[in-house]
Amino acid sequence: MKGLPDFLPPTLQLEGAWDKILEMIYSVFTTDFKQNTARHCGLNVRYDDRILPDGRGKEEGFWHVISKGPASQRSIDFRRGERLPWARPMMENDQSTELKVFDYDHGARDRGIRRYIWLKDFNYALVLQRKKNTFFWVTAFYTSRNGKKDLSRRYKGRLQNTATAI
């Protein structure tokens, strides 16, 4: 396997008590997305900043990128959490040859066109959705074997010439 691309920091070491782990991950989210606006292809990237009663004072957008499952039964996904430091650099290095950046049309009845930023060799993907003059960060996830198959299928069915010509 190739070495980690130069533009990516190391993953987080998620060890210890749950509260410590949560604060470590949230610190990255705060620095990279709350205190500083991320950009992708020259546009600001926004996230769901709602704080729900069961959200421990943290934004929905944060929970969407570090956990899995329905909102009422979320569980931490350590593979997502440890890779969170990669999210902003991946958004902002969209021309990197290590990334597959593509748009996929989920259909009008589903979710419309979504932008995928996939670091295939390191099993991590981000999903954005274009909203007028901004991108909305939908989620991030670790790509298991089945996830890689699904992303490969979407990559093959991607919209042509849209990832760079926004």
Q: Which tens digit of pLDDT belongs to each residue from 45-82?
A: 999 999 887 777 899 999 999 998 876 778 889 999 99
Q: Is 102 exposed, middle or buried (0-12, 13-18, 19+ CB in 10 A)?
A: buried
162: left (phi over 0), alpha (psi -120 to 50) or beta: alpha
Q: Among candidates 91, 115, 81, 79, which has minimal Cα distance to 36?
A: 91
Question: CB of 98 within 8 A of CB of 5?
Answer: yes
d(CA 57, CA 30): 13
Burial of 117 (0-12, 13-18, 19+ CB in 10 A): buried
In the chain, the percentage of residues whose pLDDT exceeds 70 is: 94
Name the region of 56 (left: φ>0; alpha: ψ -120 to 50; beta: rest). Answer: left
Whether the pLDDT of residue 147 is over 90: the answer is no
pTM greater than 0.85 (yes/no) = yes
Asked if 58 contacts 52 with a C-beta cutoff of 8 angstroms, the reply is no
* Average pLDDT over the chain, rounded to an integer: 90
